[in-house]
Amino acid sequence: MVTVRREKDSMGVIKVPADKLWGAQTQRSLEHFRISTEKMPVSLIHALALTKRAAAKVNQDLGLLAAEKASAIIEAADEVLAGKHADEFPLAIWQTGSGTQSNMNMNEVLANRASEILGGVRGMERKVHPNDDVNKSQSSNDVFPTAMHVAALLALREHLIPQLSALTDTLRDKSHAFADIVKIGRTHLQDATPLTLGQEISGWVAMLEHNLRHIEHSLPHVAELALGGTAVGTGLNTHPEYARRVAEELATITAAPFVTAPNKFEALATCDALVQAHGALKGLAASLMKIANDVRWLASGPRCGIGEIAIPENEPGSSIMPGKVNPTQCEAVTMLCCQVMGNDVAINMGGASGNFELNVYRPMVIHNFLQTVRLLADGMASFNQHCASGIEPNRERITQLLNESLMLVTALNTHIGYDKAAEIAKKAHKEGLTLKASAVALGYLSDAEFDAWVRPELMVGSMTPGR
């Protein structure tokens, strides 16, 4: 039988497991929202702890919170950040849309732990109050969006952007290394005029560079913090300097450029910053999906596909076909990109659905946002390490396909005109001839003229890979 203690909130007394630090409101949420398995992300829990830590420090500095209580709250928050109380945050994503229950979960855990640090006990006789002390100068309505922005910005800066930069660097190196390899281009999945493999990959590099700029452009809005707006954005029950100073404190302890939101009404009523930032992440997913698809098409085969590049053979690909190896890293990337695009739809709907002074889709929004960041960051790291870094050209196959392409005839347009060039290509295709044999048979040019005018290495232009 589980040993319990009694906890009390404004709705009365409730029994809580005696070995847990949480209190009445967390227990009520556990009992009322037994929905699915998704829990509040650890990075969001840590962002809440950072927010409470900063608030305690500023409240002490402003003379609003006794030094011993502030010190105990800060110590308790640091324990959470160190992972010491991970099992004290059991609440589901699917709860109140303001995140109030997770805010109170943090308030109760920190209050009970701070009371123990001060020599007291957890429960109704605790020395630190979850609302009056831990939540001082705060409302769930400004705490939760603040924690969302803290978690989102740190995840983007510390996880996603480094992996995006690393993958971009790898592909840039490949672009430069393959700058001299002339291959056939393809449009509409049909043969087109030549380019170099380096030029082709340089397009991927530019895509990722653009995505990085779009993501970085979204960061200043994410760095704006709602804290200090309290219930509806007016700052009720806060010191005039509180909002600015708590943002500065969060910036100091995270080494991130957090600022107080210039308009707290927008900060509470919308999720626009994360909607827009996630739009940039969706754009990255679209680019990664295109790149992964290109890679697996170019590596298709090994004998009956395009086969212009080789990618690492990481594991057996079939339980029935011996020797089969599949482009599994590409498949993983395309799947996670689909998930990111689905997350974007949910985030857009959540962001658009807030009413009046408060958006109440926040737990779902931050759950999907952080999942997207994790998927993209981990996916790029895996794709980079196990696929992109090992891309190698199949020069023999590239040359074979280049020489067999009918689209080399495009080089003759300026010499004999489009119509005659088209006739050469059609005759060659219909009769199984080379372009040269077709051109000579039609009497449009000599062997020497064909060799002088149809030179793939001169058809790739002067566009060099990279910037």
CA distances from 363 to 44, 98, 433 (A): 10, 7, 64
- Whole-angstrom Cα distance, residue 379 to residue 139? 36
Active-site choice (29, 36, 159, 188): 188
Q: Is the peptide bond before 162 cis (omega within 30 degrees of 0)?
A: no
Active site residue 318: yes
β-bridge pairing 224-225 and 259-260? parallel
Annotated binding-site members for substrate:
98-100, 129-132, 139-141, 187, 319, 324-326
Q: Which two tokens stand for residue 310?
A: 């080789």
CA distances from 329 to 248, 272, 379, 380 (A): 42, 33, 8, 10
Annotated binding-site members:
98-100, 129-132, 139-141, 187, 319, 324-326
- Whole-angstrom Cα distance, residue 27 to residue 17? 9
Element counts in the chain: helices (H) and strands (E): 17, 8
Active-site choice (318, 353, 429, 446): 318
Active site residue 214: no
- Whole-angstrom Cα distance, residue 426 to residue 407? 11
- Whole-angstrom Cα distance, residue 353 to residue 334? 29
Residue 360 CB burial class (10 angstroms; 0-12, 13-18, ≥19): middle
Active site residues per annotation:
188, 318
